[in-house]
Structure 1
Amino acid sequence: MEHDSVKQIRSEHEATAAAKKIFHNVARPGSKFIYLEDLMRFMREDEALRTMATFEDAYEHGRISKKSLKNWVLNAYRERKALALTLNDTKTAVNKLHNIINVIVGIIILIIWVVVLEIASSELIALLSSQLLLAAFIFGNTCRTIFESIIFLFVIHPFDVGDRCEINGVQLVVEEMNILTTVFLRNDNMKTTFPNSVLSTTPIGNYYRSPDMIDLIEFAVHVATPVEKIALVKQRIINYIVNRKDHWCADPLIVIKDLDDLSRIKFSLLATHKMNFHDMGERLERRSRLAEEMVNIFKELDIEYRLLPVAVNICNLPNSSRFPSTWTAAESSDKID
């Protein structure tokens, strides 16, 4: 047991240290990458190929970098940690529910026991019944709330601890789940608590349970841009996405979205990630790389946006000896006159 406890990773720092140790044990001495031949020392060729496909950029370049290995180990640690927190919160909620049921069952058994043994008189039973009706009237809303929360938590169960969700247009990460409430963490690390009875009637989007998601990037070109250049821009953008098989699906779509005052053409690029948006940092990084590549393509092909010419009519020019710096010719002619 002590030997197994040493191997457990309990923090992101330990996960990073474990990734470095794995890299140095698998890679050849002095090498900055892990190659397919290095993996084949520990597994079969088909297993090594599947392993390469799980790391970022590894399948495309035929090697695993330190950064890719570290990110993979960190993601694995975070997923396992989220799973452990989910199981812990579920166990806590089940224990609380068990205590509530025990109290209810105890009261019912007590009432049945009193009635069967005829310990209480009819007047006492009537008094207790009236008190129970009063308690039901007072705590009826609370019991309903508890029942709705239990159904939401154990039957509907739209999320787990660690899931990135969208509620009322705000992205939140599930931090803690209780019977009556759920605690979320906003992007700025502010904790927000929602009653489960309210969440049961609120539309909830779950990024973690979503399939591969689509990203939208819009750009515009001048209306006078040649059709050949536009076609070349489309082709180069599509080629970049297709060549990044680890990040993007090979079915991007570039369509004309709108014409703006006959001065520019607006395009929309729809590209499908090979991931959902649960890891928002990774999504933004991939989107940023694609946008940078698009900017480079625009510069290389001399694609630019020009404003429409504006007619300026000068009706009256005040008498002044001061001229703009570019009007040197006009100033010299006035001096000659």
Structure 2
Amino acid sequence: MSMLLIVVAFILWLLLTGLTTLQAIILIGSPILAFNFIFGDATKTFFQGIVFVYSVHPFDVGDLCVIDQNMLEVITIGVWKTTFSKVDTQDEVIYPNLDLVNKVIINHKTEFDWNDNVDIYLDSMDNKTINRVKQKINE
């Protein structure tokens, strides 16, 4: 909003000081208006996709998500669209990011903190050693 006010104030300053005329502003503004008419929606979609992917960031590649009651695995994430694979049928599903903004996404992260889990194989240990390991874990 402040950028718009600065531009309007600058144009009014040019007109009031006589450095430019209304015809020159129309000559400069017409291509800008045409560019906005042709590419305005695409640029809006592009920037919304960037905000969705980098700011909202609801999932990562490899995550399992539930969208529209379907269990989907995230295959690729792009600025325009995100590609999923249905877990049960392996069908590829492509959602535009603008559609994903308005959907409820339940994310089941597949990246776990493996430092929280320790596997201990007790096959080769005797009962005395197992009891010592239990005591150390409790401590």
- TM bracket (short chain): 0.5 to 0.7
Letter in 1 for 2:51: I
Give the aligned CA root-mean-square deviation in angstroms: 2.2
1:127 positional shift: 2.2
Maintained 8 Å contact 1:152/1:200: yes
- Return the alpha-carbon distance in structure 1 between the equivalents of residues 34 and 45 of structure 2: 18
Q: TM-score, normalised by structure 2?
A: 0.58
**Following TM superposition, where does structure 1 have runs of at least 4 consecutive aligned residues deviating by more than 6 angstroms?**
none
From 60, 65, 69, the counterpart of 1:169: 69
- Return the alpha-carbon distance in structure 1 between the equivalents of residues 69 and 38 of structure 2: 36
1:146 positional shift: 1.2
- Return the alpha-carbon distance in structure 1 between the equivalents of residues 65 and 104 of structure 2: 10
- Return the alpha-carbon distance in structure 1 between the equivalents of residues 85 and 46 of structure 2: 23
Equivalent residues in 2 for 1:149-164, closer than 5 Å? 149-164=49-64
- Return the alpha-carbon distance in structure 2 between the equivalents of residues 183 and 127 of structure 1: 44
Letter in 2 for 1:202: K
Letter in 1 for 2:68: N
Which residue is equivalent to 1:234? none
- Return the alpha-carbon distance in structure 2 between the equivalents of residues 191 and 124 of structure 1: 53
Letter in 1 for 2:104: P
- Return the alpha-carbon distance in structure 1 between the equivalents of residues 37 and 104 of structure 2: 30
Which residue is equivalent to 1:133? 33
Higher relative contact order (CA 8 A, sep 6+): 2
The SS at the match of 2:109 is coil
Which residue is equivalent to 1:148? 48
Does 2:100 correspond to 1:205? no
- Return the alpha-carbon distance in structure 2 between the equivalents of residues 163 and 148 of structure 1: 22
CA offset digits 1:116-169 (Å, max 9, x no partner): xxxxx8656532311111221232222221121111101000000000000010
Which residue is equivalent to 1:328? none
Letter in 1 for 2:93: T
Q: TM-score, normalised by structure 1?
A: 0.25
Maintained 8 Å contact 1:165/1:173: yes
CA offset digits 1:295-315 (Å, max 9, x no partner): xxxxxxxxxxxxxxxxxxxxx
Which residue is equivalent to 2:122? none
Letter in 1 for 2:84: F
The SS at the match of 1:144 is helix
- Return the alpha-carbon distance in structure 2 between the equivalents of residues 162 and 134 of structure 1: 42
CA offset digits 1:238-294 (Å, max 9, x no partner): xxxxxxxx9xxxxxxxxxxxxxxxxxxxxxxxxxxxxxxxxxxxxxxxxxxxxxxxx
Count of residue correspondences: 91
Maintained 8 Å contact 1:148/1:200: no
Maintained 8 Å contact 1:149/1:200: no
Letter in 2 for 1:130: S
